Amino acid sequence: MTLKRRSRNSRRWGFAVLALVSVVGCRTGTLPDPNDPADGPLSPEILARRLRATSDVLLNRVAKREISSRQYRELLALEADRLVKASSLDTVDPSTAWQYADVMRTARHWSEAERILKVAVRWATESKNEDRRVNDTLRLAQAQAQQSKVGEAIATARTAFDTAPESSAPILPATLYEIVPPAIGKGQDVELGRLLEDAARIHSRTEVDPKSEAGSAFLAARPHHLFRAYRSAAELYSRAGREDLAQAAMRQASGIGLPGRTPGMPPGIDGRGGLGAPGTVRI
């Protein structure tokens, strides 16, 4: 039975790889060949379009249970890696650098993503594009955290914390789900806990349009993100031996009313009530 199951899974994985090849082949007939240097580097729009096409096909296979969510992420990273290797990013337009960086992040090329995101953040700051400055700064912090540059990641993230309430919506989700997890257990858990608490305070006063679909969704999810952030901060403090800070964070968590949930111990960063082993945090 085990051998048959493994054989079936292997066949599904093989079909998924073939699907990846087919989507790359069938959707690019009128687009430049990334392997032909005569066509020049691919534009960020074409890179994003090809990556979306691959994602759509793979998500359809996830829905049909032909591949798992983990295989979806790995195959999407494989296609992003192929696009990155086929594109020359030596001369990137600063105004579109963030789009190239998104492909780098999907491909898990964190060093290259960091380099390009620094260009994107500098352009956003100089052009006074606050939305891009905040988002690209947080993505830069993620790229640094993924390379174990925890101190740099914390400092970088904090540079986005000075934004106005109407621009601060991305701060807590990025901090909680993208920046903190890869940085846990690397000697700065107390600082990570403080980063989460500060991000939560910003999140609590973020201003959105409650009549818009996005604003309504934000307001509905806000208590859950705040609850999880304070609980995760408490776990980080406890992990570092700072029970005083952990208790204070838990008091903050317990004071947040969650629709449909009895007050108690919310799940931690790994979604199962704990942080997991150092460096192996799961979302």
Sign of torsion over alpha carbons 149, 244, 176, 266? positive
Select from 241, 243, 266, 240 the least CA-distant residue to 253: 266
Residue with tokens 């390379």: 147
Tokens representing 220 are 């509905």
Give me 222's structure tokens: 């806000």
Q: Which of 106, 228, 204, 208 is nearest to 167 (CA)?
A: 208
pLDDT for the residue 280:
29
DSSP 8-class letter at 265:
-
Count the helix, strand and coil residues of the chain and give each as a percent rounded to the nearest 5: 70, 0, 30
pLDDT at 256: 86
| Residue with the two structure tokens 């947080």 | 138
Could you tell me the two tokens for 142?
A: 């993620």
pLDDT number for residue 90 = 64
What would the two tokens of residue 268 be?
A: 């931690």
Q: State both tokens at 237.
A: 């403090």
- Are 153 and 141 in contact, with CB atoms under 8 Å apart? yes
CA distance 142 to 229: 17
* Model pLDDT for residues 163-202, shown as the tens digit of each residue: 999 999 999 999 999 999 999 999 999 999 999 999 999 9
Contacts of 133 (CB under 8 A, 6+ apart): 121, 124, 125, 160, 163
Residue 219 contacts residue 208 (beta carbons within 8 Å): yes
Q: Which residues of the chain have pLDDT under 50?
A: 1-7, 10-19, 21-39, 262-283
**Model confidence over 2-13: pLDDT tens digits?**
444 444 554 444
